[in-house]
Amino acid sequence: MSRPAVEVVNVTRSFGEVQALKGISLTIGEGAFFSLLGPSGCGKTTLLRMIAGLDQPTTGQVIVGGKDMSKVPPDKRPVNTVFQSYALFPHMTVFENVAFGLKIAGKLSKAEIAARVDEALSLVRLPDTARRYPKELSGGQQQRIAFARAIVNRPLVLLLDEPLSALDPRIREEMQTELARFKRELGITFVMVTHDQSEAFALSDTIAVFNAGTLEQVGSAQEIYERPKSAFVADFIGHTNVLHGKVIERDQGHVAVAIDDNLRLVGMPEEGCQLNPGDSVVVWIRTHNIDFAGNNGTDSGGINKIQAKILHRSYQGDASEFVLDAHGRQIIASVEHTKGGETPSIGDSVVLRIEPRFAHVLK
């Protein structure tokens, strides 16, 4: 296992009576691409600011490169930050923007600074922009320059604060590829804040999912997607239906759950989840794991067949997403189009089919 680049030890942060972080502890290994993922207001940006030195914990420690950062000012920390808004100086050329931190440090000669800037601009594939001004560049180019400025002094950790959210979708996808390339070529630790799970999944070795100041789960994208440890993670990650109910019985690895008097499901308990009759549980089902038993409910037999009525349908290319009413509960299903088959319409009654292995039960 790699040495820790960043260690967060039982960190809390309070703003008056509001507790933004509630005892957060995590370790980020050297050379990792680590994402802090969660909805707005969950505390992920507050934690990033603490690593950067722009904010201080109420209690707890932030350790970078094995050194407690409690009394280390932002400009003395071995980290740099790429901001959502680029934060380039409009009155400076690209060269001057990228060289700014090196000049302030005052440790290199003019020739060394020029060499470092050329190296950084080559890495971001904009070597011919040195004499241009930010206003003369596209949004994607400005973000690349912001990366060049952040890496030119070779930090131990690069902090990314929603770095791609200001870009349009096509440029954003291109920059995701570039970010992955920067990471491979630089070999330094990246810590990124994002609320976009697809972005976190595409780039990260490890993801920490935050919710209301708490750390819900840390793991790889696959672990978090396939084995969420809480109802929040199951609901937040992917497109998911989350239903609350009580265990009726457990038999041969399956669990029967009463969602209400009219809706019951048979599912599979998550690994290590000990369940007994009467326990309150959550059943989570990915939208793409729900299918129609037959056009207008003509199919019969089987487990987990649910009568429902289509409230809304949206066409999404290879599939359609349906919003359905099932005994007063809303269920969303993403159903692939079948060749030659009829697609149900709004108002149609259907039977939903859910295999027990796709109905995951959490306590």
The residues near 231 (Cβ < 8 Å, ≥ 6 apart) are: 242, 282, 284, 362
Task: Give the architecture-level CATH label for domain 4-226.
Answer: 3-Layer(aba) Sandwich (3.40)
**How many angstroms separate the CA atoms of 308 and 323, rounded?**
10
* Nearest alpha carbon to residue 286 among 315, 251, 321, 261: 321
Cβ neighbours, 10 Å, residue 242: 14
The residues near 151 (Cβ < 8 Å, ≥ 6 apart) are: 80, 120, 123, 158, 182, 186, 188
Q: Are 362 and 270 in contact (CB under 8 A)?
A: yes
**How many angstroms separate the CA atoms of 324 and 315, rounded?**
15
Rg (C-alpha) for the chain, rounded Å, is: 25
What are the DSSP calls for 37-104, one per residue? E-STTSSHHHHHHHHHTSS--SEEEEEETTEE-TT--GGGSSEEEE-TT----TTS-HHHHHHHHHHH
Range 239-362 has CATH code 2.60.40.1180: no
Mapping DSSP to helix (H, G, I), strand (E, B) and coil, where does residue 316 land? coil
Please list the pLDDT of the chain residue by residue as tens digits (363 residues): 578 999 999 999 999 999 999 999 999 999 999 999 999 999 999 999 999 999 999 999 999 999 999 989 998 999 999 988 878 999 999 999 999 989 988 889 999 999 999 999 999 999 999 999 999 999 889 988 999 999 998 999 999 999 888 788 888 888 889 889 888 988 899 999 999 999 999 999 999 999 999 999 999 999 999 999 998 999 999 899 999 999 999 887 889 999 988 889 999 988 777 888 999 999 999 999 999 886 444 444 457 899 999 999 998 888 899 999 998 899 999 988 875 567 788 999 999 999 999 999 998
- Residue 335 structure tokens: 């159903």
The residues near 296 (Cβ < 8 Å, ≥ 6 apart) are: 344, 348, 349, 350
- Residue 351 structure tokens: 């039977």
Tell me if the pTM is above 0.75.
yes
DSSP 8-state symbol, 287: G
User: Residue ranges of the domains in the chain?
Assistant: 4-226, 239-362
**How many angstroms separate the CA atoms of 118 and 208, rounded?**
35
DSSP 8-state symbol, 112: H
